[in-house]
Amino acid sequence: MRSHATGHFTEQLREFTARRLAELLGVFLVVTAAALTLSLVSWSARDPSLNHATSGHVRNLLGGPGAIVSDLLMQLVGFGAIAAIVPIAMQGLRLMKRRRVGRATLRFGLWILGVLATSATASLLPATDRWPLPSGLGGVVGDAILVVPRTIFAGSGVMIAVFGVGAAFVAILAVTGAAGLGFESEADMRLRSAEDDAGRRPIADDEDDAGGEPGVALISLGALIHFGLAFKAWATRVAGKLRRPARTADRPPPPSYPRVEPTFEELDLYPAYAPPRARNLDEPFDSAVAPPAPRRTRAPARAPQPSFNTRYEAPSLTLLAEPKKQAGGVKLSQEALEQNARLLEGVLEDFSVKGDIINVRPGPVVTLYELEPAPGIKSSRVIGLADDIARSMSAVSARVAVVPGRNAIGIELPNQRREMVYLRELIACEDFARSNHKLAIALGKTIGGEPVIVDLARMPHLLVAGTTGSGKSVAINTMILSLLYRLKPEECRLIMVDPKMLELSAYDNIPHLLTPVVTDPKKAVVALKWAVREMEDRYKKMSKLGVRNIDGYNARVAEAQAKGETITRTVQTGFDRETGEAIFEHEEMSLSTLPYIVVIVDEMADLMLVAGKDIEGAIQRLAQMARAAGIHLIMATQRPSVDVITGTIKANFP
């Protein structure tokens, strides 16, 4: 008797615990549905979420978590979130009333089907101008589902409307089936009524037993799917007979648009998975006012770009300082040079190095003495005496190196009074004016006083490194002025990045600039990424013409313009639906020469501190591939360490 009573008590305790847990689960589902409803009702696209970072006030009633969850639901399924909430709430109420939820797998499948069908139906509805998301009303899932019917029924609005009605009917059946509404048989309702009157807990589900006949919802759903597949096959046959591909000869040629200069201030950064939109959600959004017009209507309000129709006049040389006459005693006489040569020979003999000074080349800054050593004297021994020679000659420093191609060792000693090298005499010299270099840059003078003119296009990039006061800014300004005096705006364009906001601000508003001088490191990232995209576009244009570099492209375009020739290329636009043959069109290419682009970065260390990964990736691609596209880099830094000039960057700079 006692064992029987104990077993009965254990069974009652187990049933009591199961009922309480079921009620708690029902409360949890109802609370979850209510929380989701509140978060969706107060959803705002301007709230911070996983794909939208902002420091503004959170408008969602449930705070940050509610903003993130509601944004995920609206981004994925849009208004299909309603179909996801209703079954959760109804099943929670069912559990709170002590009613079991049977056939959980079937209900879960109907719940998923209802959400998908509702999203597809919502995506068919046109979105208003105040809809802030790039996807339709059904979210990304709804747009993805509609790809297939829109491809099959393209051009047939009636077919798409019929598909929408069918999707809505499927959504209603699936949602009501998942929620357990309207699908009870008369016997089930009588059984539940009798059990409620008797106060007993129901022992059967509101649906049919596992061995019974299938419910009305499942039968209706199967019939609907069969009808939909049959209708799809019939519609595909009819659409294939009615539609005829348009002839390629009747299609108008694609319009040619003029080249538009970029404006970095209007560029926005988006995550890789989000399609770009005309406006960013960071801007204020008023639900009562329609959003602003697209960007193309705001184009006339932009600052006017410099026109190349007028003739460009290079700056006058009078803007540069005129070389001053050197004070007496700057240039050494022949006697003084001969005396220094004999003194240098005596210093070398003190260190047991025999030889003769056979030539002396005085320069504006240093003087070169050519030593012909005696037989048996090693060059490495003389090179190792550089510091001792400077000390014995009372010089600041000395540089010793072998003269290539000759039996001589060069010894450079600084002059007591240096001669100033003026940019004006370098720009005005015949070597600079008659140079055939594409991007000629004046760098200074040799030891013999001859101008040094180099071609940036052959270098193809330049890295200037040195401590503060070593002359980096002077070198950068010399290179910029060389390009401005040499090339027109249609031949060379500049992008200047100046994080220090001092060195390059004087060049603002010159016609060679693609954009005003960039001083914000974050905008510098955008400028470099634009340069990468421009490089890729140029490579596509060059591949279409079958040329290898920018010089070949410009020569081909100039030849076509001189002959009045129209350059076209044949592109494949699709396939014939009936024959399966490829459809080709002739595309007319715009004839415009491409200017060289020089990107100048005054301080690399500041950019690497703010956005090191983005800057390194952009500069690496430009350094590796941009030479043939006519894009070149000039970078300066006072800290050429590994964290600033990484290995991948250093490998592509001379």
**Long-range contacts at 67-75 (CB < 8 A, ≥ 24 apart):** 67/39, 67/43, 69/36, 69/39, 70/36, 70/39, 70/40, 70/42, 70/43, 71/43, 71/45, 71/47, 73/36, 73/40, 73/139, 74/40, 74/43, 74/133, 74/139, 75/51, 75/133, 75/135, 75/139, 75/140
Band (pLDDT 50/70/90 cuts) for residue 479 is very high
Last residue in a domain, options 389, 414, 439:
414
Is it the case that residue 379 has pLDDT exceeding 70? yes
Task: Tell me 491's DSSP state.
Answer: T
119/2: higher pLDDT: 119
C-alpha distances out from residue 524 to 499, 514, 577, 619, 650, Å: 9, 13, 48, 11, 20
- Domain-located, residue 419: no
- For residue 189, the Cα-to-chain-centroid distance in whole angstroms is 62
- Domain-located, residue 261: no
Same domain membership, residue 40 and residue 157: yes
Range from 377-386, 625-634, 641-650 carrying the lowest mean pLDDT: 641-650
Task: Kindly give, in sequence order, each residue whose CB lies less than 8 Å from that of residue 526, ignoring residues fewer than 6 positions away.
Answer: 264, 267, 269
Three-state SS for 284? coil
Is it the case that residue 508 has pLDDT exceeding 50? yes
d(CA 523, CA 528): 9
Same domain membership, residue 392 and residue 428: no
Which pLDDT tens digit goes with each residue over 200-217?
444 334 443 333 344 444
Same domain membership, residue 477 and residue 393: no
316/230: higher pLDDT: 316
Confidence at residue 236, expressed as pLDDT on a 0 to 100 scale:
65
Is it the case that residue 98 has pLDDT exceeding 80? no
Is it the case that residue 631 has pLDDT exceeding 90? yes
Which pLDDT tens digit goes with each residue over 153-169?
766 677 777 777 887 87
Band (pLDDT 50/70/90 cuts) for residue 293 is very low
Which residues share a beta bridge with 412? 368, 399
Is it the case that residue 136 has pLDDT exceeding 70? yes
Confidence at residue 270, expressed as pLDDT on a 0 to 100 scale:
44
Same domain membership, residue 30 and residue 157: yes
- Domain-located, residue 191: yes
N-to-C CA span, the chain: 99
Range 76-84 average pLDDT? 82
- Specify the number of domains making up the chain: 3
Same domain membership, residue 534 and residue 509: yes
For helices 550-563 and 521-545, give the axis angle rounded to 10 degrees: 60
Same domain membership, residue 469 and residue 372: no
Same domain membership, residue 558 and residue 508: yes
40/134: higher pLDDT: 40
d(CA 400, CA 643): 32
Band (pLDDT 50/70/90 cuts) for residue 276 is very low
Is it the case that residue 226 has pLDDT exceeding 50? yes
Is it the case that residue 576 has pLDDT exceeding 90? no
Contact 410, 355 (CB under 8 A): no
Contact 51, 275 (CB under 8 A): no
13/101: higher pLDDT: 13
Band (pLDDT 50/70/90 cuts) for residue 551 is very high
Band (pLDDT 50/70/90 cuts) for residue 244 is very low
Range 545-573 average pLDDT? 85
- Domain-located, residue 265: no
Confidence at residue 279, expressed as pLDDT on a 0 to 100 scale:
43
593/241: higher pLDDT: 593
Range of 138-142, 227-231, 576-580 with top mean pLDDT:
138-142
Same domain membership, residue 440 and residue 378: no
- Domain-located, residue 627: yes
Contact 528, 615 (CB under 8 A): yes
Is it the case that residue 302 has pLDDT exceeding 50? no
Range 520-543 average pLDDT? 90
pTM for this prediction: 0.50
Is it the case that residue 317 has pLDDT exceeding 50? yes
- Mean pLDDT value across the chain: 76
- Domain-located, residue 618: yes
Confidence at residue 247, expressed as pLDDT on a 0 to 100 scale:
41
Last residue in a domain, options 414, 434, 451:
414
Range 43-49 average pLDDT? 73
545/238: higher pLDDT: 545
Compute the C-alpha angle 439/440/446, nearest 5°: 150
Which pLDDT tens digit goes with each residue over 81-97?
888 888 888 877 877 77
Range from 324-333, 448-457, 564-573, 599-608 carrying the lowest mean pLDDT: 324-333
Same domain membership, residue 404 and residue 470: no
The CATH number of residue 410's host domain is 3.30.980.40
Which pLDDT tens digit goes with each residue over 424-465?
888 988 888 888 899 999 998 887 778 899 999 988 888 888
Range from 175-189, 469-483, 519-533, 610-624 carrying the lowest mean pLDDT: 175-189
Is it the case that residue 221 has pLDDT exceeding 80? no
The CATH number of residue 620's host domain is 3.40.50.300
Range from 238-247, 333-342, 489-498, 578-587 carrying the lowest mean pLDDT: 238-247
Last residue in a domain, options 365, 381, 414:
414
Contact 42, 61 (CB under 8 A): yes
C-alpha distances out from residue 534 to 75, 245, 537, Å: 32, 35, 5
Confidence at residue 216, expressed as pLDDT on a 0 to 100 scale:
43
Same domain membership, residue 354 and residue 238: no
- Domain-located, residue 371: yes
Same domain membership, residue 439 and residue 565: yes
Same domain membership, residue 633 and residue 594: yes
213/232: higher pLDDT: 232
Quote the domain boundaries for residue 367.
Answer: 334-414
59/110: higher pLDDT: 110
- Domain-located, residue 267: no
